[in-house]
Amino acid sequence: MKLIRDERAYRGILDDFVAQRISASVFVPRFRNLWHLDQAVGIDSVQPMSGARVNTAGLYGLLDSIDSLCNTYVHNLPAGCGYRVSEEQFRKEIESMTSELRLPGAHEA
């Protein structure tokens, strides 16, 4: 497993999205780009843990779960592709997953 290059970048993009400073159309590609650049996709030892607490899933588990949620959200955007989730609901999901991610270095207003 590789180490995340810039943990602050993840915290920043998550904070910006939850605080409604950016839209899902900006958040999803930025987050996925960070995740894929870190080559963290498909980490064998970490499974997505939807609904798990951060201290249980760990940072990699949390980020992998967010990546999975992004994939599901994007997949369900076009009409006729199944259950459509609003951007607000998607934001609330991300917020609930990251509510315990109170690490120093996140954007401070």
Mean of pLDDT values over 41-61: 55
Mean of pLDDT values over 22-50: 74
pLDDT for residue 26 is more than 70: yes
Question: What is the reported pTM?
Answer: 0.71
40 pLDDT band, cuts 50/70/90, is low
Q: Cα dist. 32→55, 57, 104, 108 in Å?
A: 22, 19, 22, 23
Three state DSSP letters for 45-70: CCCCCCCCCHHHHHHHHHHHHHHHHH
Burial (0-12, 13-18, 19+ Cβ within 10 Å), 49: middle
